[in-house]
């Protein structure tokens, strides 16, 4: 957390005291319903990696299905390349996913080849 983020910590606590928070887990059915095979396969593979290899405390880091939703194949490719891949790269750089690092790197390689 940088110094700018620390200044909002009090506001964050105030919001958390006043509102209920509900976990909404990523949903493969939402992705599949849009009918984009690459999105469905990419999301399914990522879910499998997290389910099989990620430590329990890292499961909350599974990117949500919104990263895989798009109105066109071009929009999907853009979202995967410029939103999802940098997020996963950051997780790897910070060492947040420990045991599934190798699988996640392989996933990123596969995804890059699909987008080429």
What pLDDT does residue 1 have? 46
Kindly state whether residue 13 falls inside one of the protein's structural domains: no
Please answer whether residues 30 and 69 qualify as being in contact, where contact means their C-beta atoms are separated by less than 8 angstroms: yes
Segment 66-82 mean pLDDT: 96
90: domain range?
Answer: 25-115
30, pLDDT greater than 70: yes
Count structural domains, the chain: 1
Q: Which two tokens stand for residue 72?
A: 């066109």
Mean residue pLDDT across the chain: 90
Question: pLDDT tier at 7 (50, 70, 90 boundaries)?
Answer: low
Q: Is residue 93 part of a domain?
A: yes
**pTM, full prediction:** 0.80
The whole-number average pLDDT for the span 102-113 is 96
Look at residue 77 and tell me if it is in a domain: yes
Q: Does residue 1 sit within a domain?
A: no
Nearest to 96 by CA among 71, 70, 61: 61
Q: Assess if residue 20 is contained within a domain.
A: no
């Amino acid at each position: 957390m940088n110094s700018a983020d620390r200044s909002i910590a009090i506001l964050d606590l105030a919001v958390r005291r006043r509102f209920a928070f509900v976990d909404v887990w990523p949903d493969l059915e939402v992705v599949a319903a849009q009918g984009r095979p690459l999105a469905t396969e990419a999301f399914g593979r990522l879910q499998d990696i997290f389910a099989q290899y990620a430590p329990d405390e890292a499961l909350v880091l599974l990117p949500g299905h919104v990263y895989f939703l798009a109105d066109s194949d071009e929009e999907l490719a853009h979202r995967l390349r410029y939103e999802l891949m940098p997020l996963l790269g950051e997780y790897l750089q910070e060492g947040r996913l420990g045991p599934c690092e190798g699988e996640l790197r392989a996933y990123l390689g596969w995804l890059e080849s699909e987008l080429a």
